[in-house]
Structure 1
Amino acid sequence: MGRVISVEDSVVIAQSPQVLYGMVSDVTRMGEWSPENRGAVLASPHEGVRVGAVFDGANTRGRVSWTTRCTVTAADPGREFAFRVHAIGSPTRRLPARIATWRYTFEEHDGGTLVTEAWTDDRRWHDAAARAFDYLATGGSTIAAFQRGNILRTLRTLKAAAETDTGR
Structure 2
Amino acid sequence: MPRTFEVSDSIVVRVPPEEVYRHVSDPARMGEWSPENLGGTVTSGPGEIRTGTVFDGRNKRGAFRWTTRCTVTAAEPGRLFRFRVHAIGVRSPRIRGPIATWEYRFEPVPEGTRVTETWTDDRRAWPDAVAGVFDRIATRGHTFAAFQRRNIATTLRNLKRVLERAGETGQATTGQETTGRETTD
Bin of the TM-score, shorter chain as denominator length: over 0.9
Specify the alignment match of 1:149 in structure 2: 150
After superposition, the Cα gap between the structure-2 partners of 1:93 and 1:161, relative to the gap in structure 1 and judged at 3 Å, is: closer
User: Which amino acid in 1 is paired with 2:20?
Assistant: L
Task: Report the identity percentage.
Answer: 56
Specify the alignment match of 2:137 in structure 1: 136
Specify the alignment match of 1:126 in structure 2: 127
Counterparts of 1:2 and 1:98 in 2: how far apart (Å)? 19
Q: Alignment RMSD, CA only?
A: 1.1
Specify the alignment match of 1:20 in structure 2: 20
> How big is each residue's C-alpha offset from its partner over 1:95-136, in whole Å with a ceiling of 9 and x where there is no partner?
001100000000011231100000000002000000000000
Matched, 1:61 2:61: yes
Counterparts of 2:115 and 2:76 in 1: how far apart (Å)? 14
Instruction: Summarize the alignment of residues 96-135 of structure 1 with structure 2, pairs less than 5 Å apart.
Output: 96-124=96-124, 125-135=126-136
8 A contact 2:57–2:67 mirrored in 1: yes
Counterparts of 1:118 and 1:78 in 2: how far apart (Å)? 16
8 A contact 2:69–2:85 mirrored in 1: yes
Q: Which has the higher strand share?
A: 1
What's the TM-score, normalizing by structure 2? 0.88
Deviating beyond 3 angstroms after TM superposition, the runs of 4 or more aligned structure 1 residues are: none
User: Which amino acid in 1 is paired with 2:134?
Assistant: F
8 A contact 2:68–2:92 mirrored in 1: no
Counterparts of 2:47 and 2:110 in 1: how far apart (Å)? 34
Unmatched 5+ stretches in structure 2? 174-185
Matched, 1:48 2:42: no
Shift of 1:45: 4.2
Shift of 1:93: 5.2
Specify the alignment match of 2:3 in structure 1: 3
Instruction: Summarize the alignment of residues 55-94 of structure 1 with structure 2, pairs less than 5 Å apart.
Output: 55-92=55-92, 94=94
